[in-house]
């Protein structure tokens, strides 16, 4: 007799993340956010990253811990509105971004630069 195949999906096979498949999105983090304020926060074990707009705290925490091998203690996220720019006779808004400020366990470091 042939084995009967289970029609239900197995765990971890393919997940939906905000309308797009997990196979398409390779990383939640775009790049580190480097500014004067971000560099000042390095001394307090806080690191700033630019993330995709659909990302939530849980997704970013998992990505940081997996990529850099550190323990995330807390996190804040901020949406930054896009600037309004004037092009000839019309105005348009640039695309907004999302920032995540991550606090890691004391004594651990992330090499950004």
Report pLDDT digits (tens) over 46-59.
Answer: 999 999 999 999 99
Listed by start position, the domains of the chain span: 29-104
Q: pTM of the prediction?
A: 0.71
> Both tokens of residue 79?
């949406």
**Which residues face 31 on adjacent strands?**
50
Pairing of strands 84-87, 97-104: unpaired
CA–centroid distance for 53 within its chain: 8
106 DSSP assignment:
T
pLDDT below 70 — which residues of the chain? 1-26, 113
pLDDT of residue 27: 85
Please give the class, per CATH, of domain 29-104: alpha beta
């Amino acid at each position: 007799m042939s084995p009967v195949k289970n029609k239900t999906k197995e765990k971890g096979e393919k997940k939906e993340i905000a309308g797009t498949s997990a196979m398409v999105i390779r990383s939640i983090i775009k790049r580190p956010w480097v500014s004067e304020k971000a560099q000042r926060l390095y001394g307090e074990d806080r690191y700033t990253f630019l993330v995709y707009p659909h990302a939530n705290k849980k997704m970013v925490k998992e990505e940081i811990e997996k990529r850099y091998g550190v323990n995330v203690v807390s996190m804040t996220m901020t949406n930054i509105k896009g600037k309004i720019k004037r092009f000839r006779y019309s105005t348009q808004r640039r695309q907004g971004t999302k920032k995540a400020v991550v606090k890691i366990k004391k004594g651990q470091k992330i090499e950004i630069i």
